[in-house]
Every structure is written in structure tokens, then in C-alpha cells.
Structure 1
Amino acid sequence: MDRDVLADTPGRLHVFTPLVEAPRRFLRFISTTPGLLTVVSIVLVAAILAAGGAMAATSGSRQGELNTMVNRSEPVSFAAQELYNSLSVANAVATTGFLSDSSRTADTRQQYREAVNTATSAVVRAANGTDDPSSREMTLILEIQEKLPFYISLVTEAGANNRQGYPLGAAYITQASTMMQDELLPAAAELHSRTSSSLADQQHRLTRPSWFALSGLVAAVIMLIIAQFWLAAWSNRRISAGYATATVLMAAALIWAGISAFTTWHEGPRGVVGTSQPLQTLTALRIEVQQARSTEVLGLVQRDYTADNQSDFSDRVASIDTQLEELREAAENQETRDQIDGARESLRSWDNSHAQMVSMVRQGDYTDAVQATVGDEDGGVSASFTSLDSDLEDLIDESREQLRDYLSDAGRAASQVNLLVLVLSLLSILCIIQGTRPRLQEYL
């Protein structure tokens, strides 16, 4: 009797007993129909949450990167482009002003002051947008900050000597222009190239489809299809409306995300090329125009307009015209094509006026050559150059606006995909619960 009583008495519980018994209890639970239904529902809900969460997280990350590009990377690239342009404009205005009016120094000319102020501001903005102080970009920025004051002082000395009639002014303006074209502009060009390439690389990365998140949605849809056929066979009933609805919703999420990924993958690279590339090309063209203008005026300042100068100018004009023609062929709207046609017409007018100026120099008519170069008459060298520069500036502003619109549109598209997938995933979970509940109630 004592042994029977002891045998029926519960044994002493060990601290690890619940942990050891948990697998056995779970196996006994899933061996029952309600338990198996519950586990299948939980697995489906987890799969949907994982797939929807992964897609939402990927879309959110993509949207965050796009916001960073719009608010940080693109402004830094634009600051570098603005720095590049303004330095070239300052040099062209300084050399032209030296030739046109000896009674004024460059720092008294509004266009020169605006160009220098713009360059200074752009350097600061580029520095603020550069995170790594040891990067090549920061080295270039510091180099420009160090050499720009020295260039300004050379231009000021040139103007002061020219105003007093000293021939030394020509040496100063030549030294300043050489410094700009050999040191400052190459540094600004490299900075612009690096920031533009970084922006383009970020855009290319964002055109890659989110294969991992898409595979999660595919897996969730497959699991839902298998689960609803299993449930129909297990219960000898028709397909569950809740499971079928969840499958349709997740399939819709997959189709939407897939179309978005395919569109991004297929159209994204073309969008990058169609927005970033024209901006870089137009910036380089405007710099080339400014350098051609500086070389043109500097030849008159030195009173030595050689055949090499003319050959260099002709080569630049031919290169500019070829690139403008390529941009026109790639342009997608007629308004842009018309603007490029206007720029090419200004370029041809400048080339013709320049040829007349060179003819005057070779005939010894230096005074008329100077007047033709810096005068304001319609169709002259100065008017044609100003018109061309203005056309290129407008095209640059338009290209930048297209780039920012493209990035903003991509950010909104990523946000819409994120929201839709989240909503459809939550609705699918509710449908799974609703589809499982009637089967469980049959055993209560």
C-alpha cells in the first residue's frame, strides 16, 4: 500500500522540467487538428510579416537614400558645378574687363564680384557637404580656398597697374589667367567630376531590384497556395475564402512590387543617363566656352594673337558644336531642342565675329579689334559670347531641375510601394485569421 501511494504521488519538479516537457507538449499539440491549424496559421502570418516587412524596410531604405541624394548629395554636386562655373566666369570677366576699360579694376565690376562671391559660397557649401576630412574632395576644396585669394590679388594688381598705364599689368593678368586655367580650374573640374560621379553611382545603385524582398513575397504567395489546398484536403471542404483572399492580396503586392522593380531596373539607368549626363556635359561645355573667351581676350591683351591661338579657338568651337548636336539628338522634348539650336546659332555667330576680329589683328587694326571683341554691338564677339553663355546657363538650370524632379519622383514611388505592401500584408494577416477561425470553432 505504501508503494502504491508513493507511486501515485507527483514527483518532485525540477527547475528544467518545463523546458524539457515543452517539446513533448508541442508535439502532442500539433498532433491534434486544432493544434496543426494553429501552427499553420502562425507560420503563414510570420511569413507574410517577414515578406511585407522586408519589402517595406527595403522601400523605406531606398526612400531614405533618395532623400539623402536630394537633400545632400545633389546639392554638393551642384555646389561643385557652381564653383567650377563661377571661377571660369570670374576669369573671363577679369580678362575682358582688363582689356575694355583701363580706368576700373576687376573688383569694381559687379559681374566679377558676383562670380567671386558665388565661388566662395560654393566652396563653403561643398566643404559642409563633405563628411570625410581626409578625402580627396576635401583636399581639392582646401587647395581652392588657399589659391583663390592669391588669384584675386593678382587680378587686382593687374587692374591697378593697367589703370596707371604700366605695362606690368598685362603680365599680372596673364599670370592670373594661367593660374586659373592651370591650377584652380583643374582642381574645380576634378571636384565636380568626383561629386557628379558619386551622385551617378548612388543613382545606379538605386536602380537595382530588391531581389531579397521580392523573393520573400514569392515565398509567402507559394506558402499560401499550398496552405489553402492543404486545408481543403484536410477538412474535406472547399477552398477557404479567407486563405484565398490572402493569396490574392499577397499576389497583388508581389505584382505591384515586381512591376515597380522591373520599371526601376529597366528605366532607371536611362533616367540616370537622361538627367545626370546632360548636366555634366553642359557644365563642361560652359567651362570650355569661358576658357575659349579668356584665351581670346588674353591674346589681345598680350598683342600676340598667333596661329596657335586661332587653331585652339577653332578646335574648341568645333568640339562645343559637336557636343551640342549630340545633346540635341538625345533631348526628349522640343523646347530643349529649340534652346540647343539657339545656343548653336550663338556659337556660329561668335565664331564668325571672332574670325573678323582675327582679320583686324592681322591687318594691324588693333583698336578696332579690341572694340569688336569687347564692344556691345549686336552680332559682335561679346554679344554672341554672352548669348551663348546665357543659353548654356539656362540649359544647366533646366537639367538640374529635371534631375531633382527625377529623384523626387523616385522617392514618391518608393513611398507608395512601401505603403501598399504594408497595407496588403496586414489585410492578408486578417484574412488568414478569419479563414482559420471557423475551422477551429468546429472543435470547440
Structure 2
Amino acid sequence: MHEPAQGKATDYEAEMAQLTAPAHVRPPIRRGEVNSVTARIRSTPGRMVVVMLVLLLVGLLAGIAWVIGSSQRSSSAGGARTGSGELAVQAQELYRALSDADATAAIAFLSSGVEPAELRNRYQSDVAAATAALAAVANGGASDKAAIEQISAQLPVYTGLVETARSYNRQGYPVGSAYLREASGLMRGQLLVAAQRLYDSEATALQHERDDAASLPWLALLLGIGLVAGLVRAARQLSRQTHRTFNVGLLAATLVAVVMVVWNGVGWAVVAQHISAANREGSRQVELLAKARIAALTARADEALTLVARGSGAAFEKDYVVQLGTLVNGDNSSGLLNRARAAATDGSVRTVVDSGISDVNAWLAVHKKLRAADDGGDFPGAVKLAIGGETDSAATIFNRLDGVLASAIRSTGAVSDKRGADAAGAFGGQTGGGVFLTIVLLAGIALGYQQRIAEYR
């Protein structure tokens, strides 16, 4: 009857004994064991293991720095072509289309009645081009959202004012000129300012990406050069210790490390050269020529608005003089076209710019006659000189100048695109090649040392 109770007591005592038993304590590392580990590290094979691990670590870091760096710079080079580069082109097209619409609307107004179909079509094409460019910039992720929203909101207001001015002009009401001046004021004071801000933002982003693509991969180069020096020193040390001239593994690793450094350095130099050429032969010239074309468009609008104002357009005439002075300065050096000619690296572009300079001078001469006719009371004669189809009219000369500048912009823009493509192409194979060479490098180091370490076992 009492045996179960005794069994339970026994189990309870056993459990308590386990709970109260002292925990197993690992015996402390004895000084002799520490000395043994230290002795192993200080031994010849131990030192080999330490050097091998250091070389493997440096080689891995050099490979990672090269692969990641080349991948990032390749992304920047690609973005400069298809990302920020395309956005900058669209922002520039937006500004040009808006400027041309303003000039065309002013010229068409001088027709007094139904404007020529050619001018009407040009104005509508400009508005459509501006709308398409604005959509492209917005969908492309442009950074200046406020400028996009401003243009989107005010462009319909501008076109509405132009249509009102056109309607009154067709009916012969003088109030139409007031609406046209209000439309032009909105264009110049708001729309073009926002478009310029948008272009500046995208041009800055483009330059940043190009600078990133051309940046010196200093970390990868420093690690690579340090690795080559370390491998050479390690090979000499092993040669003295083992009395063997060559270590196949370390020799292969050294050659791979040299290839990595040379490939990285030469690749950077090639990319930097292409980026520099893209800026020098393309983007900088495009910017000067685009500014010149816009200045010509602004001057053309000023010329027409001076006539539209019928005696109260002194401000427009003053701005015309400023814009033409911006194109070709009297000292033949500081004007936009003068600077574009000096910056031209292609003889054909220089010839085109020379033609543009001649057109500007011819335009100035016709404009003097135009102003003399208007100031002398011959308004119809002044209008004829402004919009007539004769070879010596301001319209003919301006159209020729605009075509010349458009041709030069296309030519230099194509050079910029090609150089950008060459820069992006120079990164070809670097990422995959970097991974492969890093694996071969690490294998060579490990193999070279393992063979020698095994001889001590």
C-alpha cells in the first residue's frame, strides 16, 4: 500500500537533485592552449594562412568595388542618353515651340483678316508640339513639377487669348491687338519663364549623370593596385620560403589583378573622353544654338508686335534690338552665334553658323527699312517688308535663319547622341567580366597558398 508513495518520493528527489545540481562549467582555456594557438599562427603555415586570408579579402573588395562602380556608372551613362538626356531635349523643344507659337501668332495678326494658311498651320503645329513635349517631360519624371503644372494650366489660357485676338482681328476690331499683347505678355512673363526653369533643371540633371558616368573609380583602382603590390610581395616571400621560383596560382592571380586594374583604368579613360567630347562637340554647341534660335524667335515676335501696337510698341522695338544684339554682338565675339562659331568643332557646322550670322546682318538692314517706313506713315509698306514673300523681306530672311539654326542644332545634337552612346557602350562587359575575373582571382590566391600550406602537413 505504501510502495507507490515511496516511488513518488524517489522521483521527486531525483528531479530536485537535477535542478539543484551545479551547472556544467567548461574548464577555462589554459595558458598552454593559448600559447599553442599563438604558436600555430606564428608558424610558417600559420603566417601563410593569415596572408592568404588578407589577400582574399582585398581581392574580394577590389572585385566588388569594380563591379558595383562600373554598374552605377554604366547606369548613369545610359540615363544620360535615355533619361535626363531625352528629358532635356523635350524641355528644349517645349521652349522652342512656345516661342515659335508666340512669334507666329504675332506675324499672323498682321495679315488683317484671315491669316495665311501656312501661318495658321505653323501656329497649330507649335501648340501641338508644345503639348506633346510637355506630356513627354511630365511622363518622363521631370523634377520640376511646379513648372509642368504652371505650363499645363496657362497654355490653354494663352491659346484662348490668341483665338479671341484672332476673332476680333478678322472682324476688323482694334481691340484684337490688346488681346494679342496680353497673350504675348502671358507667354513671355509666365510660360517661357516656367519652360526655361524646366529646361535648366533637366540640363543640370543631365550634366550630373554625365559627371557621375565619367567619375574616377578611385576606390576600385586603389584596391586593385594595392592587391597587385600585395600579390607580388607575397609571391616573392613564398619563393624565399619554399625555394621555388614560380607559384602558378599566385602568378595567375597577379595577372588577373593587373587585367582588372588596366581594364578599369582604361575603361574610365575611354568613357571620360567620350563624355567630354559629348559636352564639347555636342551639348554646349546645342545649347548656344538653341538659345540663338529662341532669341531670333523672340526678335521676330517683337518686330511684329511693334507694328501691331501702331505707335505704342517702343518696348517691343527695344527688346528687338536687345535680342539681335544677343545673336551677333558688335565686337564679333560675345554674341551667341559668334560663340557658337568659335566653339564649333566641325567645319560644316562653322559654315552653317557663318550663314546664320550673314542672315542676322541682312535682317538688321531690312528692319531699318521697315522701321523707316512705319515711322514715316507707310504702315502697309512696313507690313509688306515684315511678312511679304520677297527674297529681301524680313519673313524670308528670318525663315532662312531659323532653318539654318535648326539644321545646326540637329547636326550637333546627333554628335552628342553618338558620343553618349559610345560612352555607354564602353562599359560593355565590365560587370560580367568583373565577376568572372574576381572568381578567378580568388581561386588563384587560394590554390597558390593551399599547395604550399599542404607541404607542411
Normalised to the residue count of structure 1, the TM-score between the two structures is 0.86
Whole-angstrom CA distance in 1 between matches of 2:65 and 2:53: 18
2:328 pairs with 1:298: no
2:253 pairs with 1:242: no
1:106–1:112 Cα contact (<8 Å) kept: no
Residue number among 356, 359, 364 corresponding to 1:346 in the alignment: 359
2:159 pairs with 1:152: yes
**2:74 aligned partner:** 63
Whole-angstrom CA distance in 2 between matches of 1:107 and 1:141: 29
Whole-angstrom CA distance in 1 between matches of 2:451 and 2:189: 81
The one-letter code of the counterpart of 2:137 is A
Residues 368 and 23 of structure 1, relative CA distance in 2, 3 Å threshold: farther
Point out where structure 1 has 5 or more consecutive residues left out of the alignment: 1-11
**1:212 aligned partner:** 219
Point out where structure 2 has 5 or more consecutive residues left out of the alignment: 1-22, 329-334
**How far is 1:155 from its partner?**
0.6
Residue number among 400, 409, 419 corresponding to 1:406 in the alignment: 419
Residue number among 374, 380, 396 corresponding to 2:387 in the alignment: 374
2:351 pairs with 1:333: no
Whole-angstrom CA distance in 1 between matches of 2:392 and 2:227: 70
Residues 396 and 61 of structure 1, relative CA distance in 2, 3 Å threshold: same
**Cα distance per residue 1:3-31 (max 9 Å; x no partner):** xxxxxxxxx9979999xx99999757656
Whole-angstrom CA distance in 1 between matches of 2:99 and 2:259: 54
Residue number among 210, 223, 229 corresponding to 1:222 in the alignment: 229
Residue number among 386, 395, 412 corresponding to 2:399 in the alignment: 386
**How far is 1:264 from its partner?**
5.2
1:66–1:411 Cα contact (<8 Å) kept: yes
Residues 307-326 of structure 1 correspond to what in structure 2 (within 5 A)?
Answer: 309-321=316-328, 322-326=335-339
Residues 83 and 16 of structure 1, relative CA distance in 2, 3 Å threshold: farther
Larger radius of gyration: 2
**2:64 aligned partner:** 53
Whole-angstrom CA distance in 2 between matches of 1:287 and 1:420: 47
Whole-angstrom CA distance in 1 between matches of 2:28 and 2:148: 68
**Count of residue correspondences:** 428
1:253–1:424 Cα contact (<8 Å) kept: yes
Give the % identical residues. Answer: 28
Whole-angstrom CA distance in 2 between matches of 1:227 and 1:182: 70
**How far is 1:397 from its partner?**
2.5
**Cα distance per residue 1:144-171 (max 9 Å; x no partner):** 1111111111111111111111111111
**2:121 aligned partner:** 110
The one-letter code of the counterpart of 2:445 is I
Residues 335 and 399 of structure 1, relative CA distance in 2, 3 Å threshold: same
Q: CA RMSD in A?
A: 3.1
**Cα distance per residue 1:241-290 (max 9 Å; x no partner):** 43233223312321332244456567755643543322222222222111
1:105–1:159 Cα contact (<8 Å) kept: no
2:264 pairs with 1:251: no
2:356–2:405 Cα contact (<8 Å) kept: yes
1:297–1:373 Cα contact (<8 Å) kept: yes
2:127 pairs with 1:120: no
Whole-angstrom CA distance in 2 between matches of 1:435 and 1:217: 19
